[in-house]
Structure 1
């Protein structure tokens, strides 16, 4: 099984298939932080008790769904033109339109506030690169994942310490960092690091900057985010994607949309559309512009990942 995880809803998710078992991880790549904070504040203003009844019917009636995001590229972020976009935002637009809800209103907040915000009705649904895991499944329900993800490291150009796994990093006595509440913390600890030896940085951009300046040797994150962050760097690169192995089992993560436990009807309707898009190839066409490859596509289910 995966290493012991912190028992909170800000942990990260993972997927399993065959001999692959769960872990937890989360990504954080802030874009347009000031604008995101402002939008998040507006979204929080309407807090009220969790609604009862048919949420899908309510969303159809009001014509808008509030989508909780965390300001992370490539999942949900503000682009250089000040527009909300990302795979989660664009996918939500398509699916909710087909469910009879014409407008998607992104509401940005800190990642750790997403599940609390969902349960207190700041948002109707969350999609922020949130991974599906057993701990979260005790609090919320998930759609089947739209993607799966492997790990990768941000290292100095040329990878001078030859780091390709957490065990490599530990043996090389490399200074390692990752993001807040990332599962990579637990992966590093499983490889031999003490918790206080794993530096916590704001996001992968901060991680890349720390690697470039020599303050750390490696920043641990997901393959997709790592390769996107280093694209324009002349001093850093991303290592080849890999599945972390703990106790002989591969850790594969899967991310999906998040719903309140009372909203099974909405989640089930969403799943119907996700599966149609997987079958037709439309899902990959939407995710591809945001850096996803066919290797990130998955047939995993939320039920598998929740176990």
Structure 2
């Protein structure tokens, strides 16, 4: 039996006939980043969101021929804001972990990750076992893999969590922390290239445990947006192949962070 167009429209409005689901063309993409994680994402003196993550995002959008808008978001609300539709992609140096994959889907990694301890420049610490760090004040960014690492492995330390990496750095520089745990690359940049970072140095060996360092650093999307994931993966492969990635890498780091060597 045929259904008239008018009746079909009425039934659709009443929810009795499924309406078609139109695929997004992704000609316009909103990208969420933090703006407080130099050199990956931060605000410059003009109030512009800049950094490695931002330039990678711009290069990806150029490859996808997409009109991209960057949206600043505090770290601890990053995934909830993605899921609520505030933006379509998280490009904010987010480690790929099994826990996060329960909520979001990730692209291929766009750089390798490792964690590190950092302490005062005159630190003589060589033992980083839980027993050796018992009672010490150790800081980390809240809702991060660094925080998970400390909470799981250093229950007898005074673990302090912060809303932003800048706050962790400030308390370490001012002597309110004995140590902090951070992602290796931004911490290396802070102690090497910033005036306030001269207070401090990296200590101990890099922490490469995949449980905390993750499978690398990826872009997060909503799990249903698999077409966007493929477009981002294709664009990432293209900027690596044509040298665009390496040119951006060289502006920020003395090593190849895609391969960490």
Matched, 1:259 2:221: yes
Judge conservation of contact 1:178–1:219 (CA < 8 Å) in 2.
Answer: yes
Judge conservation of contact 1:170–1:193 (CA < 8 Å) in 2.
Answer: no
Cα 1:120–1:192, aligned 2, differ >3 Å: closer, same or farther? closer
Distance 2:87 2:168 in 1: 30
- Aligned pairs (5 A) from 1:28-43: none
Q: Deviations over 1:68-96 (max 9, x none)?
A: 11123233221123222122221121111
Aligned equivalent of 1:162, options 86, 103, 126: 126
TM-score normalized by the length of structure 1: 0.68
Distance 2:244 2:166 in 1: 30
- Aligned pairs (5 A) from 1:50-199: 53-55=22-24, 57=25, 59-60=26-27, 64-71=28-35, 72-101=37-66, 103-162=67-126, 165=128, 167=129, 170-173=131-134, 174-194=136-156, 197-199=158-160
Cα 1:189–1:229, aligned 2, differ >3 Å: closer, same or farther? same
Q: Deviations over 1:119-156 (max 9, x none)?
A: 22211221111111112222221110100111122211
SS of 2:109's equivalent in the other structure is: coil
Judge conservation of contact 1:76–1:85 (CA < 8 Å) in 2.
Answer: yes
Partner of 1:37: none
Q: Which runs of at least 4 in structure 1 moved beyond 4 Å after TM superposition?
A: none
> More displaced, 249-258 or 172-181?
249-258
| Number of residue pairs aligned between Structure 1 and Structure 2 | 234
Partner of 1:226: 187
Judge conservation of contact 1:145–1:257 (CA < 8 Å) in 2.
Answer: yes
Shift of 1:235: 2.2
Cα 1:171–1:240, aligned 2, differ >3 Å: closer, same or farther? closer
Judge conservation of contact 2:149–2:212 (CA < 8 Å) in 1.
Answer: no
Cα 1:65–1:297, aligned 2, differ >3 Å: closer, same or farther? same
Distance 1:194 1:244 in 2: 22
Distance 1:192 1:126 in 2: 30
Cα 1:211–1:120, aligned 2, differ >3 Å: closer, same or farther? closer
Cα 1:143–1:154, aligned 2, differ >3 Å: closer, same or farther? same
Runs (5+) with no aligned partner, structure 2: 1-20
Q: Which has the higher contact order (CA 8 A, sep 6+)?
A: 1
Distance 1:278 1:241 in 2: 29
Q: Deviations over 1:180-211 (max 9, x none)?
A: 1122233224434247x211133333223322
Partner of 1:34: none
- Aligned pairs (5 A) from 1:232-243: 232-233=195-196, 234-239=198-203, 242-243=206-207
SS of 1:159's equivalent in the other structure is: coil
SS of 1:127's equivalent in the other structure is: strand
Cα 1:278–1:170, aligned 2, differ >3 Å: closer, same or farther? farther
Shift of 1:157: 0.8
Q: Deviations over 1:18-75 (max 9, x none)?
A: xxxxxxxxxxxxxxxxxxxxxxxxxxxxxxxxxx6322x1x32xxx421111123233
